[in-house]
Structure 1
């Protein structure tokens, strides 16, 4: 790191949201471009900057500021420039010169300790003097706070966010309870707060640290798909993370319960703890599901069998008994579930329901959990589908990491039927929000594949509702959607039923034996970059998707993305790149959004429509990186272009390869998947079945035949800790509970 000192001459650009600034500094008579995050910057200020030099391809040499501190000008010329910069009200160049002419190098000392003497200068009256004193005092306080914050090992960027949140209470918050930042400042989690607290000398067993650590440990529910943790598990996890004994954890658990931060319950004769929002979501969803599952509807003077026959005649198809039953059940029940694998006729049923409801003058809406799934159901049915977030009209609060919706029990959806596809992907938080917006008289039709992996988020919603026995479930097992040559749906059906498929490598379902890990990796790269594009005409980026069961290992997602980037989008002089968290992102990279961002703005490149919201799983191309503006732009596959700040780079990852979980809700023309040994949790039938059903035109499995057979035999998968099923049953049996 290098230290330079200079005066602010000109502010070229400033991002008011994150403080990123491009400015020209006078450094010993030379004009230098400085870039970095400043809380405030004013013409004439004299600063000490710590950072490093870099060369921009368009703008030449730049100094990248990491930390800074205000220096007091020592020369009369520097003081004059500082005072005349406009930083103080009522002082222009003429008055500044008069002040310095009178007080010389003692001018700033006069401002600090005896500002009333400024009234000796012609033109500075009582009102101007009062304004100068107020502004100068505030600026001095801000500078001192910013310098002190950075002395605690906090970067300039985070220091600015702290000051914007707490103002003059910043130092008090840091010294008394730095863990308060976790609740108050978006982006600061337990690990960052703990680093700051450690720098400030907080003890490992301080109550604030233990309370924050328990909350952090309980947050593992979100990562593991659970809605609660057992008491034993929570105490052991917290003890390991915090490095304190279990008795100290146990002593603070009750405090968090009394504070209402976590909820204590008895589930299956065990004491368990919920994050408050997951408890409320699970309990409310159970109550709502129990309520609407008991509702039945009859449309007077309507022969539903005749309506179904009319639909069959109009679209020239013949439905089987299960499909007819599903359409009829959608008319009569408050909620039904239609589940089945690929090609079993789910889309045909959806089209029939929409068509018949429309003929009856009833309003139907289609929805799906993700943008990709909504787009796919729109394409397959010819009817517009929205994400559940858009359907419920999400509203984002900056104080809350979770969205709220304008549609709820006080403002329900004014429709006769809601059809939700890919229902296995709905987590408990989203399910609760959806059910709140379902009013009496509205039918809920949940469509999905119960044999796929559950949602990425907490809960096992579809499985729990089915197992509650409260809802009519229509299970489809006859395959319709296949051409004479297609074996993907047939083999997926066999895998799902524990049967080893008869694989013919002349079909669209291939298995290539590759038992050597290094050779397997090389063959995947060759297949994606050369063989499939040349022999079959598939595009390596847009048509082919590599899916892996695991993140780590030679053919895990992390290494596959690194290797595929190297061959599909290698470093070039005309493509900017940026390193983030040991990963290099480069213009032209295939990337994926990995967290919901409900407030980020986008523009449709075709319609020029503008809106907000990009969702977990959305895929696109990294179009542009701007070091000057500290931003990058992504063009998503649905035509939305989004510009991000550099500090939002944690919201994306490479998408040349993805986990099976991340592939849910999508179909790709070609899927390539390595099959290798690993933890049993990642090698089971449900995961393999989910991966296989992502392919539309061609599926290529590469690896070990023995592992492939073991995956088909294995029904072992992670059992999620949820209580939705039991709560639904309780509310049905005891409606007043």
Structure 2
């Protein structure tokens, strides 16, 4: 009854001090936070609501908070404590002992310390529990007549108290130095009890704990903190080194560079107001940077390690003597060709000479690369290799860089495969069962495999495992960093290129158009493409706005999109400009939600509405979501939904299955009514619109990749001159910088 009376009190200011039990929602303003959390005060628990960004920092579970406000009764949510101001408290000698007891009970760090033990501790050391835990040995707790605590439990209690005391000290340190408290768990995991000492010795160490996205912006913030709180001067070598690391991080994340030319790094430093010669700084440095003097490149040791180990593992696979060749059986090949003739309703299906060489290469080599453009038979070659292995009872694993390719192989060819990331997730079990020994791993869409993914895979598989990569080196490089496949296709003894198009199928014009762009055949492109206004139902059309500017391009794309949607034929829109993507996404979302009230959630200035199509822009191994995965928002959770101890705000149905996303997960989630081409590699759609923006450096690889997304029709929006220029431009894959080229010795 006392709690009911307390909760019904309104209009008067009240103070609550207690332990945070759970946090259901946090929103960040420009400088402060608003939050909804549950706090335990004595025997009572209160739902607290902090509106209007009243908190200087967000609450966390097990924090001790003092909040000031008033009790109110919400019609929908029931009794609440509405906070006007709040402050996190650090446990001190003046902290009420009942709060310290609650802190120990609620904190999962104190394993084995039950309520009954806390009561005994409270009785044994009245008003002096904190001082006792700060100073005594385990033997005191064991020998105390009111405790008689087991020695192991006493040692565990004191160790946990020491750890929590340091965490509180580190938390205070971060707050006082204006450093994000979100870094606390990572600092504890890496540095342990030396975290404060390490940060004081070099505050720029914090850069490695920050996201690689917008690394230079993070560095500027950190640089300002270092000047203000750590007495760093402008000429400090630690400052210059950290700036170089930030430049490399950003180049890695934004453009996929594994290294950068020294002169580019030097110019960027000057733009940041740092005028130091890189050579002199690095000569006196023990930091994680490496200079390639012969090539004039600089890279982080992390990227150098990735490149070196990938090259080493590829050489180990290629040179292994224990791998057993698989003989090409002509009878199996003949059966395969006959089956394909029946499946495709053709009079006679025959593999051409280059396709046969590719099959033999994969059967006889430990490491093989099969490269080819559209409709040159890459999938047929892969299916023929699979048939040879299966008929000889040899183990084979078929992987793909994208979930779309996995689904395509299953639906169109009845072949079971899996995403590379999924395979890596359970690879240890396969190794334990010796499933990979003498097995062949085929990776489809291998041009999308970035260096970091290749590193994880190659580190895991045994030397006597064989590897066959199949892809198209004319496509854009992978979303992640590096150009692994594109490098390997340039090694003659490893690779073969399929170059004879066939089986153009029912979409002959479209497939000829793709191949014409692939080989830069402008004459054929002009013969196939039709003006959209004259023949909107043609497979390949273009539309030329009167003014080739951003707003005109957006308007043209939206008009065509609306026309097709009315005919129940929605098109996927692509662009090279993030700004155009943003404008179109917002416009279509606004129209879709007009005079309707779908559930919505705003994350980092981006609004998500139930039913929106979305794309995930980063690999998330924990959730099993690949870069470029397409999905649809199926649920918006208000309040948040706890799934596997995670506070989730959105449910998305991806190709990999339904996933529950936290607010942090949603930072990689974008609307996908219009997608940037480089973010959607490997996806396929029936009908697409491609905006070829003259304000962006679009080359052959970009246009060819965009065209490869469609299965039925495409509308290009741009002027004819710029499209022709893009087709004839040089391929830019190798403008992606690397530290050192991969060299593979011939197998013994």
TM-score range, shorter chain: 0.7 to 0.9
Residue 25 of structure 1: how far off its partner (Å): 7.7
What residue number does 1:466 align with?
489
What residue number does 2:59 align with?
38
Q: Is the 8 A contact 1:488 1:508 kept in 2?
A: yes
1:510 counterpart = 2:531: no
What residue number does 1:103 align with?
none
Q: Deviations over 1:352-409 (max 9, x none)?
A: 22112211222221111233333333333321112223334468xxxxxxxxx78889
Q: Is the 8 A contact 2:399 2:418 kept in 1?
A: yes
How has the CA–CA distance of structure 1 residues 111 and 719 changed in structure 2, closer, same or farther, with 3 Å as cutoff?
closer
What residue number does 1:686 align with?
701
- In the alignment, the residues of structure 1 paired with residue 740 and residue 120 of structure 2 have an alpha-carbon distance, to the nearest angstrom, of 78
Q: Is the 8 A contact 2:395 2:436 kept in 1?
A: no
Q: Is the 8 A contact 2:26 2:36 kept in 1?
A: no
- In the alignment, the residues of structure 1 paired with residue 267 and residue 119 of structure 2 have an alpha-carbon distance, to the nearest angstrom, of 66
What residue number does 1:181 align with?
206
Q: Is the 8 A contact 2:443 2:468 kept in 1?
A: yes
How has the CA–CA distance of structure 1 residues 205 and 15 changed in structure 2, closer, same or farther, with 3 Å as cutoff?
farther
How has the CA–CA distance of structure 1 residues 423 and 134 changed in structure 2, closer, same or farther, with 3 Å as cutoff?
closer
What residue number does 2:281 align with?
252
Q: Is the 8 A contact 1:465 1:724 kept in 2?
A: no
1:379 counterpart = 2:391: no
The correspondence for 2:87, drawn from 62, 65, 68, is 68
1:224 counterpart = 2:255: yes
Q: Is the 8 A contact 2:703 2:727 kept in 1?
A: yes
TM-score, structure 1 normalization: 0.76
Residue 493 of structure 1: how far off its partner (Å): 1.0
What residue number does 1:203 align with?
233
Residue 80 of structure 1: how far off its partner (Å): 8.4
How has the CA–CA distance of structure 1 residues 566 and 444 changed in structure 2, closer, same or farther, with 3 Å as cutoff?
same
What residue number does 2:669 align with?
652
Q: Deviations over 1:84-137 (max 9, x none)?
A: 85769889999999999xxxxxx7999799999xxxxxxx97759999999999
How has the CA–CA distance of structure 1 residues 442 and 55 changed in structure 2, closer, same or farther, with 3 Å as cutoff?
same
- In the alignment, the residues of structure 2 paired with residue 33 and residue 444 of structure 1 have an alpha-carbon distance, to the nearest angstrom, of 57
Q: Deviations over 1:657-702 (max 9, x none)?
A: 21111121111122111123123x3x22221111011001221222
Deviates more, 1:16-25 or 1:377-386: 16-25
Q: CA RMSD in A?
A: 4.8
The correspondence for 2:474, drawn from 438, 443, 451, is 451
What residue number does 2:10 align with?
none
Q: Is the 8 A contact 1:465 1:725 kept in 2?
A: no
User: Between Structure 1 and Structure 2, how many residues are aligned?
Assistant: 670
Deviates more, 1:342-351 or 1:143-152: 143-152
How has the CA–CA distance of structure 1 residues 273 and 92 changed in structure 2, closer, same or farther, with 3 Å as cutoff?
closer
What residue number does 1:677 align with?
694
Q: Deviations over 1:135-158 (max 9, x none)?
A: 999978765654453233245545
What residue number does 2:8 align with?
none
How has the CA–CA distance of structure 1 residues 412 and 222 changed in structure 2, closer, same or farther, with 3 Å as cutoff?
farther
- In the alignment, the residues of structure 1 paired with residue 622 and residue 134 of structure 2 have an alpha-carbon distance, to the nearest angstrom, of 48
Q: Is the 8 A contact 2:207 2:222 kept in 1?
A: yes
Q: Deviations over 1:240-268 (max 9, x none)?
A: 34x32123x43331355x45x233334xx
Consecutive unaligned residues in structure 1, runs of 5 or more: 101-106, 117-123, 396-404, 601-612
- In the alignment, the residues of structure 2 paired with residue 571 and residue 153 of structure 1 have an alpha-carbon distance, to the nearest angstrom, of 44
How has the CA–CA distance of structure 1 residues 641 and 495 changed in structure 2, closer, same or farther, with 3 Å as cutoff?
same
SS in 2 for 1:599: coil
Deviates more, 1:6-15 or 1:59-68: 59-68
Aligned positions of 1:85-164 closer than 5 A: 146-155=171-180, 157-158=182-183
SS in 2 for 1:22: strand
- In the alignment, the residues of structure 2 paired with residue 322 and residue 138 of structure 1 have an alpha-carbon distance, to the nearest angstrom, of 65
How has the CA–CA distance of structure 1 residues 712 and 59 changed in structure 2, closer, same or farther, with 3 Å as cutoff?
farther
Q: Is the 8 A contact 2:121 2:129 kept in 1?
A: no
Q: Is the 8 A contact 1:46 1:82 kept in 2?
A: no
The correspondence for 1:635, drawn from 646, 652, 665, is 652
TM-score, structure 2 normalization: 0.75
Residue 423 of structure 1: how far off its partner (Å): 1.5
Aligned positions of 1:469-548 closer than 5 A: 469-483=492-506, 486-500=508-522, 501=525, 502=527, 503-504=529-530, 505=535, 506-516=537-547, 517=549, 518-528=551-561, 530-535=562-567, 537-538=568-569, 540=570, 544-548=571-575
1:618 counterpart = 2:640: no
Residue 11 of structure 1: how far off its partner (Å): 5.6
Residue 216 of structure 1: how far off its partner (Å): 1.9
- In the alignment, the residues of structure 2 paired with residue 161 and residue 724 of structure 1 have an alpha-carbon distance, to the nearest angstrom, of 29
The correspondence for 1:592, drawn from 599, 615, 618, is 615
Q: Is the 8 A contact 2:46 2:81 kept in 1?
A: no
- In the alignment, the residues of structure 2 paired with residue 74 and residue 293 of structure 1 have an alpha-carbon distance, to the nearest angstrom, of 66
SS in 2 for 1:246: coil
Q: Deviations over 1:52-111 (max 9, x none)?
A: x99997569775899723299999xx95875785769889999999999xxxxxx79997
SS in 1 for 2:732: coil
What residue number does 1:309 align with?
334
Q: Is the 8 A contact 2:652 2:658 kept in 1?
A: yes
Residue 422 of structure 1: how far off its partner (Å): 0.8
SS in 2 for 1:468: coil
- In the alignment, the residues of structure 2 paired with residue 666 and residue 82 of structure 1 have an alpha-carbon distance, to the nearest angstrom, of 55
- In the alignment, the residues of structure 2 paired with residue 527 and residue 698 of structure 1 have an alpha-carbon distance, to the nearest angstrom, of 13
Residue 559 of structure 1: how far off its partner (Å): 2.2
- In the alignment, the residues of structure 2 paired with residue 98 and residue 47 of structure 1 have an alpha-carbon distance, to the nearest angstrom, of 27
SS in 2 for 1:214: helix
Q: Is the 8 A contact 1:368 1:388 kept in 2?
A: yes
- In the alignment, the residues of structure 2 paired with residue 643 and residue 387 of structure 1 have an alpha-carbon distance, to the nearest angstrom, of 20
How has the CA–CA distance of structure 1 residues 523 and 232 changed in structure 2, closer, same or farther, with 3 Å as cutoff?
closer
What residue number does 1:402 align with?
none
SS in 2 for 1:585: strand
Q: Is the 8 A contact 1:424 1:455 kept in 2?
A: yes
